[in-house]
Chains A and B, each alone.
Chain A
């Protein structure tokens, strides 16, 4: 029995008292079907064991005919994925909140509740997380019978008493949605006592684009382009994770050369993402010199990505069944040269981050998260690894070319901002090593194989290690040329809990750095549709209308002057 089978057997054993039925939909994953009233007991026993961490909560609308909503709780222990599935009637959907047992569930529960209209019983009071303030009550965008036209006719929601309304007596510092510390929109409220933070809350969704919903209306191939645009930094990993999931469903084996090129792009993307973060992190600490230098040197890897793919950001390297481009000898030489330059510079930055006194007093012992906290809060990626939690899917469940080109784990035990700097920079030495190994030993062979336009019925969980941590895709196919449901859980969503709890007790001056410490990516987080209703005096503009309005506006303006 392998470790994975062992782990799954153990999980199934633990859940035995409450199990209704057990399924094994694919290798390394077992589903346990529970009655809703047994959910808390089941989660509790997994948490006590402890059996892995909660990866994601996915809600599925089974349709008006079935009359039920299914909620999936996926737990991961290295390569083993254990799914708890509960069903609840569609017209009175409710599940118990597991927030008490696993704080990491709170953001996922809130997202699921808003999108699918499932009442999560027992959550602490809160305002909306993702949906707009004037989104009508009772309109749940991820339900199959949701219609934007109908929802637009409904009355917008009243002003909701958010967290702010409950504590009017305190001095609240708002950060965002527009704030110099944030490069993307998000809204945070920090209650301060002098310079000390006493509580924190978040409101997201400012960049929601309804991508999850939109995938259901597009073909498998079109979705590839859509999902690559979930994130503007780690675009490749989204497309790759999606492709790997679809290929699994279709039962297709991708040629080794294609897997190697995917891995190459993924690692170069990690280098670019972490260097971008290094600059942002330094800027938040007011260390602009490091910021400028880090971003200058980041251009090296941007040039490499451009020379390989033709693009700086959305590389569009993936196809269902392989990759689009090959890597030639000239490019291999450029990659090797670039890796040398980057490695030299990164050694310097590691030196600066670990020895510069003025920088150390801003990072050492700030925003500390112990290993136990990191486990409980369900953090992923470099944030978890900086707290001594060895959680890296490239090692735990190797995909693409990682079985042949393994990475070594990089962990630190400090748990503070300094550790997060060290882990991210040291991780890049590993990335560069793998990049070199990949281009020097590229397997020969085809770049892609054909994938049918209709994907066989089934469901799969596809995960990968994005620059920010574990990226989770749940893909369900009904056998058509369009997916039934795609759920994306980005690493940032899993890490919010860590920020909001570690920031309490910090100084206001440390907030931007602690926020940036998890390398948050808001557009990854936000994928929901935005709706303006007529009655609120605002309306939905189409691109064409917006374009015409812009042209008219400037024509009027220039003719007036």
Chain B
């Protein structure tokens, strides 16, 4: 029986299909919010689903001089990576499906998998826009990943655990955003960097390099990459909600716990949407400068204060 319920958790609920469907909903919410903030109408609610269905139905064109296995395989790895990461994160007001000591690190790296895959696939095909896009994707990866990781480790330091479930249990109702505001901001912006949302969309800046590393993708590969990003958005926001915004008490009954989860993640999404609309795109060198000059330093100061607070008798 344990095996069957594990399989359900992995493929249907709360991970897998259910998560993917919800992720499409979040993509719509994001697009709609950004559109309304830009004084546009925005897409209808089923647009992300329609996009996905259309892409899945289309032919996938393999560019010349490209390794087919990488080109077709990497989108699947990317999607699998984020769906696996989702199992260690408390979603929809439930406990994480799985957990072990150190799963925080594993989840963070699984979340980074789509970016790695996009970089790899962009670098492995001869298209010049893809190559420049891949260079930028990987450059950005190396700049936001460190502060993003350090930001998520802040709550872990307080909890003295590397397991998301345990940190979440400690952070529940504590609203660590109040005691670690810098870590919260850095993590939130790190998530934007990870998802290549404006103003950190230099790797896919359409006015310069068309669609960056994914320029050559059509059909299924593109659908998987897009879905992976949507899932990553939800998992990332769930992680931030659990670690910084007090999470959701799993002891609460069903509709209430889910409602709290959605309220918290949608609030984060609103903040993300506002941040996406009010800036011009940063150049890649400006992005790197921002993260390493400010992001890392600030979060290290935050760490220092946290460690002092924890180990010094005050």
User: Out of B38, B129, B210, which one reaches A292, CB within 8 Å?
Assistant: B38
- Binding stretch for chain A, among B199-207, B241-249, B259-267: B199-207
B198 beta carbon closer than 8 Å to chain A: yes
| In the complex, chain A residues whose CB is within 8 Å of the CB of B208 | 181, 508-509, 511-512
Give A282 to B38 CA distance when docked, in angstroms.
Answer: 13
Give A286 to B280 CA distance when docked, in angstroms.
Answer: 5
Are A509 and B284 closer than 8 Å at their CB atoms? Answer: yes
Give A508 to B207 CA distance when docked, in angstroms.
Answer: 11
CB neighbors of B among A508-532 (8 A):
508-512
A351 beta carbon closer than 8 Å to chain B: no
A362 beta carbon closer than 8 Å to chain B: yes
- Binding stretch for chain B, among A132-140, A166-174, A268-276, A319-327: A166-174
Most buried by A among B40, B128, B208, B279: B208
Given contacts A296-B39, A358-B199, A509-B205, A282 and B210 within 8 Å (CB-CB) = no
Give A512 to B277 CA distance when docked, in angstroms.
Answer: 20
Give A511 to B132 CA distance when docked, in angstroms.
Answer: 14
CB neighbors of A among B181-212 (8 A):
198-199, 201-202, 205-210
CB neighbors of B among A266-324 (8 A):
282-290, 292-293, 296
- Interface size class on chain B is 20 to 34
Please give the number of chain A residues whose Cβ is less than 8 angstroms from any Cβ of chain B in the complex.
32
User: Out of B201, B207, B210, B286, which one reaches A284, CB within 8 Å?
Assistant: B207
B91 to chain A, nearest CB (A): 31
Give A283 to B281 CA distance when docked, in angstroms.
Answer: 9
| In the complex, chain A residues whose CB is within 8 Å of the CB of B198 | 286, 288
User: Out of B210, B283, B284, which one reaches A180, CB within 8 Å?
Assistant: B210
Q: B35: nearest residue on chain A (CB-CB)?
A: A292
Most buried by B among A293, A361, A362: A362
User: Out of B37, B206, B280, which one reaches A362, CB within 8 Å?
Assistant: B280
Give A361 to B129 CA distance when docked, in angstroms.
Answer: 24
Q: A292: nearest residue on chain B (CB-CB)?
A: B38
| In the complex, chain A residues whose CB is within 8 Å of the CB of B201 | 286
User: Out of B38, B206, B282, which one reaches A358, CB within 8 Å?
Assistant: B282
Give A362 to B284 CA distance when docked, in angstroms.
Answer: 11
Are B280 and A292 closer than 8 Å at their CB atoms? Answer: no
Given contacts A179-B210, A512-B208, A289 and B37 within 8 Å (CB-CB) = yes
Give A509 to B205 CA distance when docked, in angstroms.
Answer: 8
A99 beta carbon closer than 8 Å to chain B: no
Are A289 and B132 closer than 8 Å at their CB atoms? Answer: no
B297 beta carbon closer than 8 Å to chain A: no
CB neighbors of B among A165-221 (8 A):
171-174, 179-181, 192, 195
A507 beta carbon closer than 8 Å to chain B: yes
Q: A173: nearest residue on chain B (CB-CB)?
A: B128
A150 beta carbon closer than 8 Å to chain B: no
Give A282 to B199 CA distance when docked, in angstroms.
Answer: 13
Give A425 to B280 CA distance when docked, in angstroms.
Answer: 19
Give A286 to B204 CA distance when docked, in angstroms.
Answer: 11
Give A296 to B39 CA distance when docked, in angstroms.
Answer: 8
Given contacts A289-B38, A509-B208, A174 and B285 within 8 Å (CB-CB) = no
Q: A284: nearest residue on chain B (CB-CB)?
A: B207
B278 beta carbon closer than 8 Å to chain A: yes
Q: A513: nearest residue on chain B (CB-CB)?
A: B207
Are B284 and A195 closer than 8 Å at their CB atoms? Answer: yes
Are A509 and B202 closer than 8 Å at their CB atoms? Answer: yes
Are B207 and A292 closer than 8 Å at their CB atoms? Answer: no
Given contacts A180-B207, A284-B207, A195 and B280 within 8 Å (CB-CB) = no
A356 beta carbon closer than 8 Å to chain B: yes
Are B207 and A507 closer than 8 Å at their CB atoms? Answer: no
Give A349 to B210 CA distance when docked, in angstroms.
Answer: 27
| In the complex, chain A residues whose CB is within 8 Å of the CB of B202 | 509
Are A286 and B132 closer than 8 Å at their CB atoms? Answer: no
| In the complex, chain A residues whose CB is within 8 Å of the CB of B207 | 180-181, 283-284, 286, 512
| In the complex, chain A residues whose CB is within 8 Å of the CB of B209 | 173, 508
A120-132 vs B, Cβ < 8 Å mask (1 yes, 0 no):
0000000000000
CB neighbors of B among A228-243 (8 A):
none
Are B128 and A285 closer than 8 Å at their CB atoms? Answer: no
Give A356 to B132 CA distance when docked, in angstroms.
Answer: 28
A225 beta carbon closer than 8 Å to chain B: no
Are B286 and A361 closer than 8 Å at their CB atoms? Answer: yes
A359 beta carbon closer than 8 Å to chain B: yes
Give A181 to B202 CA distance when docked, in angstroms.
Answer: 14
Q: A510: nearest residue on chain B (CB-CB)?
A: B283
CB neighbors of A among B278-314 (8 A):
278-286
Q: A516: nearest residue on chain B (CB-CB)?
A: B207
User: Out of A283, A293, A356, which one reaches B39, CB within 8 Å?
Assistant: A293
A361 to chain B, nearest CB (A): 6
CB neighbors of A among B94-119 (8 A):
none
B24 to chain A, nearest CB (A): 22
Give A171 to B285 CA distance when docked, in angstroms.
Answer: 20
Are B132 and A173 closer than 8 Å at their CB atoms? Answer: yes
A197 to chain B, nearest CB (A): 11
Give A409 to B222 CA distance when docked, in angstroms.
Answer: 52
Given contacts A173-B132, A509-B205, A289 and B285 within 8 Å (CB-CB) = no
| In the complex, chain B residues whose CB is within 8 Å of the CB of A284 | 207
Are A509 and B278 closer than 8 Å at their CB atoms? Answer: no
Give A358 to B282 CA distance when docked, in angstroms.
Answer: 7
A to B CB contacts below 8 Å, 26 in the list: A173-B209, A174-B128, A180-B207, A181-B207, A195-B285, A282-B280, A284-B207, A285-B281, A286-B199, A286-B205, A286-B207, A286-B280, A288-B38, A288-B277, A289-B277, A290-B280, A292-B40, A293-B38, A356-B280, A358-B279, A358-B282, A359-B280, A361-B282, A361-B286, A509-B202, A512-B208
What 9 pairs across the A-B complex have the smallest Cβ distances? A286-B281, A287-B280, A181-B207, A358-B279, A509-B283, A512-B207, A292-B38, A180-B206, A359-B280
Given contacts A285-B280, A361-B286, 11 further A-B contacts (CB under 8 A): A173-B132, A181-B208, A195-B285, A282-B280, A285-B281, A286-B280, A362-B280, A508-B132, A509-B283, A512-B207, A512-B208
- Give A residues with C-beta under 8 Å from B: 171-174, 179-181, 192, 195, 282-290, 292-293, 296, 356, 358-359, 361-362, 507-512
